[in-house]
């Protein structure tokens, strides 16, 4: 049965014979809800949740009246609270309605949603009035942190987005221009230079301090020491070095050398950041 989708009609919308809500088949909403329950129990990873959630939603209505659903969802929540003192079939039906409407409103969270959840959980954990629910909040925090750590959009070591870390794939060199970086060195510099808000979010996911990557610093220095030394000597008036510097720069800037340097520094970087930059047209 299809009924009037309005806030004053929540009792009818919660009925057992309702087959559709705002264009959504209720069986589809129940599947979406069941999927989110699997994710919230930690039985599937965030990537699988997002993929399967998108597949299910593709079978729903092309357009969904989000604001209207939100109003009815609030009315259903109020009605559910009003009958919580008398558990029974009516309360169960109203709870089912709120869950179906919630499924219509909210899909699997993206990384920004998860970071907002993490900030809210941390705020609640810091409040004395929420001590009674601290164990549940800690469990929620572990789950959200796990989801974020599983995300291909975030680096699991620093908690920084890969699109931000990508800016440090190449580091400036005073003699050679730019040099592809070893990952841990890039991570350390990115953390040091990241905006405060980004650093705060990263620390929520990875609160431990990253140690200084001494070995990567040595390896980075080894990549550039000889050509940099030649160019520095040429700049200081060494005539032999001046002739050699032209050849060194030509060799350094060749496509073959750049590909070699990217391979040498590729360990740990995502596949798209192991490749040479596209040649300009």
- pLDDT for 2: 52
CA atoms of 106 and 102, how far apart (whole Å): 6
- What DSSP line would sit under 129-141, residue for residue? GGGGGHHHHHHHH
Q: What are the pLDDT digits (tens) for 3-57?
A: 555 555 788 888 888 999 999 999 999 999 999 999 999 898 888 999 999 999 9
Question: What integer is the mean pLDDT of 118-125?
Answer: 83
Mean pLDDT of the chain: 85
More confident residue, 230 or 206: 230
- pLDDT for 280: 38
CA atoms of 82 and 195, how far apart (whole Å): 46
> Do residues 141 and 121 make contact, with C-beta atoms less than 8 angstroms apart?
yes
Alpha helix (H) residue ranges in the chain:
10-13, 26-40, 46-57, 66-83, 89-105, 111-125, 134-150, 162-165, 183-193, 196-205, 214-235, 239-252, 255-264
Q: What percentage of the chain carries pLDDT values higher than 90?
A: 36
Residue 108 has pLDDT above 60, yes or no: yes
Q: What are the pLDDT digits (tens) for 164-191?
A: 899 999 999 888 888 999 999 999 999 9
Q: Which residue from 18, 165, 181 is spatially nearest to 101, judged by alpha carbons?
A: 18
pTM summary value? 0.59
Neighbours of 87 (CB within 10 A): 9
- What DSSP line would sit under 52-91, residue for residue? HHHHHHTTS-SS--HHHHHHHHHHHHHHHHHHTTS-SHHH
Specify the DSSP class assigned to residue 8: G
Most confident of 33-37, 117-121, 151-155: 33-37
């Amino acid at each position: 049965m299809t009924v009037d989708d309005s806030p004053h009609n929540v009792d009818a919308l919660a009925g057992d014979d309702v087959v559709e809500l705002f264009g959504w088949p209720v069986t589809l909403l129940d599947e979406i809800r069941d999927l989110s329950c699997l994710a919230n129990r930690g039985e599937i990873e965030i990537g699988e949740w997002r993929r399967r959630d998108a597949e299910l939603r593709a079978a729903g209505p092309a357009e969904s009246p989000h604001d209207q659903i939100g109003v009815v969802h609030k009315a259903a929540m109020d009605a559910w609270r009003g009958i919580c003192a008398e558990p029974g079939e009516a309360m169960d039906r109203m709870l089912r309605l709120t869950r179906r409407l919630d499924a219509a409103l909210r899909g699997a969270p993206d990384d920004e949603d998860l970071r907002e959840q993490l900030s809210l959980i941390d705020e609640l954990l810091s409040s004395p009035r929420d001590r009674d629910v601290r164990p549940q909040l800690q469990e929620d925090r572990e789950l959200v942190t796990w989801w974020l750590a599983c995300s291909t959009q975030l680096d699991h070591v620093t908690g920084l987005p890969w699109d931000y870390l990508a800016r440090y794939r190449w580091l400036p060199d005073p003699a050679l221009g730019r040099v592809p970086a070893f990952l841990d060195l890039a991570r350390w510099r990115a953390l040091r230079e990241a905006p405060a808000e980004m650093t705060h979010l990263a620390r929520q996911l990875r609160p431990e301090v990253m140690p200084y990557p001494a070995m990567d610093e040595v390896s980075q220095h080894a990549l550039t020491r000889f050509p940099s030394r030649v160019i520095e000597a040429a700049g200081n008036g060494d005539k032999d070095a001046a002739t050699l510097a032209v050849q060194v720069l030509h060799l350094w800037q060749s496509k073959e050398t750049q590909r070699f340097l990217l391979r040498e520094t590729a360990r740990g970087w995502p596949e798209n950041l192991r490749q040479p930059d596209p040649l300009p047209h």
